[in-house]
Structure 1
Amino acid sequence: MKFAVFLSGLLLLFLLPDWTESVEDDSVNINTLARIINFFEQNFKRVAAGDDYPLQYAIAINVPKDQCQQNFNLNTFLRKDRENAVEVKKAIDDDSNGLYEGQEPRELIAAGNRRVKIKKTYKIHSESLLLNPVDNSPMTNLLNKRKGDSCSVFYTFNSPCVQTCLDAKGPYNIINALKKWKEHDGIKAFVFKNFWEHDKKKDTKDLQTEFKQIAAHVPLFRCVSENECYACNGEGNTPIDADCLPPPTTTTPPEMINSEL
């Protein structure tokens, strides 16, 4: 019996490196992901003129797979687009278009918001600008530039809004685009940092349902600093992790209000 256990242990040790490599091949390294998102924030973050108030923007990349794993190399990461950071920010700050589609060989696309007016003026959000129309979007074109051993990351500063981006019946929803992205080979990560201001006070159960629409197609993450990223989970019956949801709002009971008067 001991001999059989010994042999089983040897077999496990023999297979473990290949198993570890296969897991690494299929998923983003979360510490590397934090560094990538921090790179976006350092180089492409939008701020309001005059007061540096952060503004919504989104970025997507499609890079060699090893750039999302432990051997991430900042010196070679997005070299061409990094050198054009001023052009990227100029393009996404222009709300008449709000779109940057990258230099060849294309590895990066980015968007701010686009102001349009039909019957009234409104904004098309950056997520929709990058992901629609589904079959000929900037994201589809970016993914077509590199297939197979690639890593595609979509980062939005604020979480996709429930009212438009995650409304499956709305004209600017991103759900069908996520289904399309799911078909692409390689590592994938959909990442956000903050919560869209109008969704912060929504019921947590509602946001669970909305965010699971993303996780059903691509892995969902929240990255809040260069050292802090969370895997949101949410696949199948798995709930969205608490770190990827706003803290529950608390209301003061009426009797407590009266006692303080």
Structure 2
Amino acid sequence: MKFTVFLLLFLLSDWTESVEGDKVDINTLARIINFIEQNYKRVDGDKHPRQYATAINVPKHQCQPNFSPAQNNFLTQENAANVKNAITDETNALYQGAELIAAGTRKVVISKKKQYNMHSESLLLNPADNSPMTKLLNKRKDGCSVFYSFESPCVDTCLDATGKHSILKALENWKEHSGIKAFVFKNFWKFDTKKDLQTKFKQIVAHVPLYRCVSDNECYACNGEGNTPIDTHCLPPPEN
């Protein structure tokens, strides 16, 4: 009887460590996002920050407790100036490095009177089976992969399951990647604050864990798995 109890406790402990080991440490995540913001943030000529997105695929330990990213131990193969120059050039707006990819918004001109901006999330995640994200994930099969968008993916384009710029198929593919995964955003896309983000964000959570990081030391797990709701920290405040 004592052996059975001991065995159960051992297996439970091992299972708990395994589950926790498959998730990013929330404090380390805050430091990673702060590092990205400090080094690669898109700021245009008017000195205002603009939408951009990045993704990294790094060794697993760099997403676990007590790791502090710095210039000498994190994304050491990426040149910050090259990244920022690439993502602010709206004719291409794409950077593909060794452990990091990044995108701004790409201006697509259809005619003299018609043009649109291709969103950064779509630039990194499409085409779903052969995207910059696909290539990044293939470089390290069991690494920690974090996707960070300055603003939340837009409802009408990125999270439209039937749209040609939808990112949902890419997230479905990402789900199959071994290792730690985290989809992170900071601000809400300004046109979506009155939309049903509770429902829309659950489309992301169906594939990868969703987080919101609001400062250099404050991140929230959005939850939303199964029947659980998206955490209120990851939703716009209700109108008075």
Range class of TM-score, shorter chain: over 0.9
Q: Distance in 1 between matches of 2:172 and 2:11?
A: 34
Q: Distance in 1 between matches of 2:144 and 2:65?
A: 13
The structural deviation recorded for 1:21 is 2.5
- Answer yes or no: is 1:99 the counterpart of 2:91: no
Following superposition, the deviation at residue 154 of structure 1 comes to: 0.2
Which runs of at least 4 in structure 1 moved beyond 6 Å after TM superposition?
Answer: 6-9
Q: Which residue of 1 aligns with 2:203?
A: 213
Q: Which residue of 1 aligns with 2:177?
A: 184
Please, which of 165, 173, 182 is the counterpart of residue 172 of structure 1? 165
Query: Match for residue 139 of structure 2?
Result: 145
Residues 189-215 of structure 1: CA deviation (Å, up to 9, x unaligned): 00000000111133xxx1111111100
Instruction: Write the distance in 1 (CA, Å) between the matches of 2:232 and 2:118.
Output: 29
Q: Which runs of no fewer than 5 residues in structure 2 stay unpaired?
A: none
Distance 2:37 2:8 in 1: 42
Tell me what 1:85 maps to: 80
Shift of 1:118: 1.4
> Which residue is equivalent to 1:193?
186
Q: Deviations over 1:149-191 (max 9, x none)?
A: 3110000000000111111111111011101111111110000
Alpha carbons of 1:47 and 1:16: their partners in 2 closer, same or farther (altered >3 Å)? Answer: same
Q: Which AA in structure 1 matches 2:127?
A: P
Secondary structure of the residue aligned to 1:130 is helix
Give yes or no for contact 2:182–2:210 (8 Å, CA) kept in 1.
yes
Aligned length: 236
Report the alpha carbon displacement of residue 220 of structure 1 after superposing the two structures with TM. Answer: 0.4
1:27 counterpart (23, 26, 36): 23
Paired residue for 1:235?
225
Deviating more after overlay: 34-43 vs 115-124: 115-124
- Which structure shows the higher helix fraction? 1
Question: Retained in 1: the 8 A contact 2:184–2:212?
Answer: yes
Q: Are residue 56 (structure 1) and residue 48 (structure 2) matched?
A: no
1:104-123, aligned counterparts within 5 Å? 106-119=98-111, 120-123=114-117
Distance 2:161 2:221 in 1: 24
Task: Quote how far apart the aligned CAs of 1:23 are.
Answer: 2.3
Q: Which one-letter code corresponds to 2:178 in the other structure?
A: D
Cα offset, 1:13, TM superposition: 6.0
Cα RMSD after superposing both structures: 1.7
Q: Which runs of 5 or more residues in structure 1 are unaligned?
A: 251-261
What SS does the aligned partner of 1:144 have? helix
For 1:188 and 1:63, locate their aligned partners in 2 and report how far apart those are by CA, in whole Å.
11
| Residue pair 1:65, 1:151 contacting (<8 A) in 2 also | yes
**Aligned to 2:191, what secondary structure does the other structure show?**
helix
Is the CA contact (8 Å cut-off) linking 1:43 and 1:85 kept in structure 2?
yes
CA contact (8 A) 1:62 1:108 kept: yes
Secondary structure, aligned partner of 2:129: helix
Give the equivalent residue in structure 2 for 1:76. Answer: 73
How many angstroms does 1:136 deviate by? 0.9
Shift, 1:10, TM fit? 5.5
In structure 1, C-alpha distance between the alignment counterparts of 2:155 and 2:101, rounded to whole Å? 23
Paired residue secondary structure (1:166): coil
1:79-116 deviation per Cα after TM superposition (whole angstroms, max 9, x unaligned) = 111xx1000000000000000001xxx11000000000
Q: What is the rounded CA distance, in whole Å, between the counterparts of 2:228 and 2:14 in structure 1?
A: 27
User: Counterpart of 1:59 in 2: which secondary structure?
Assistant: strand
TM-score between the two structures when normalised by the length of structure 2? 0.93
Percent of pairs identical after alignment?
Answer: 71
| 1:129 lines up with 2:119 in the alignment | no
Scaled by the length of structure 1, what TM-score is found?
0.85
Q: Which amino acid aligns with 1:243?
A: H
Q: 1:117 to 1:151 in 2, by over 3 A?
A: same
